């Protein structure tokens, strides 16, 4: 059973997961994730991502994404590049 994200970090994690669910086969770095969050979830981006402080954005996103790797929600493909863990679906013929 997985834990539900709680608090403000949970909201950011949900936004990150929504980005990776929209693009399940792409490997994304933190800049690409930040841009896609701004497009897909502008309310969350306004709350968590700061336009005037890119280093804060970088550390905030990388910390959340590193925690998601430890939780098994994301996979780090290369240094600084992440992807969604593929869901395996099987179709059986009757």
pLDDT tens-place string over residues 62-78: 999 999 999 999 999 99
Q: If DSSP states are collapsed to H, E and C, what string results for the chain?
A: CCCCCCHHHHHHHHHHHHHHHHCCCCCECHHHHHHHHHHHCHHHHHHHCCCCCHHHHHHHHHHHHHHHHHHCCEEEEECCEEEECCCCCCCCCC
- Residue 29 in any domain: the answer is yes
- Residue 38 in any domain: the answer is yes
- Residue 91 in any domain: the answer is no
Looking at the structure of the chain, the number of domains it has is 1
Residue 14 has pLDDT above 70, yes or no: yes
Provide the domain limits for residue 16: 7-84
CATH number for the domain spanning 64: value is 1.10.10.10
- Residue 39 in any domain: the answer is yes
- Residue 1 in any domain: the answer is no
- Residue 63 in any domain: the answer is yes
pLDDT tens-place string over residues 16-45: 999 999 998 899 999 999 999 989 988 888
pLDDT at 17: 93
């Amino acid at each position: 059973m997985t834990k539900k994200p709680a608090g403000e970090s949970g909201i950011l994690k949900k936004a990150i997961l929504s980005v990776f669910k929209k693009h399940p086969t792409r490997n994304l770095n933190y800049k690409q994730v930040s841009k896609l969050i701004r497009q897909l979830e502008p309310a969350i981006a306004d709350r968590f991502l700061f336009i005037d402080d890119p280093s804060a954005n970088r550390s905030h996103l990388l910390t959340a994404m590193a925690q998601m790797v430890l939780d098994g929600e994301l996979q780090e493909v290369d240094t600084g590049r992440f992807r969604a863990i593929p869901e395996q679906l099987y179709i059986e013929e009757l």
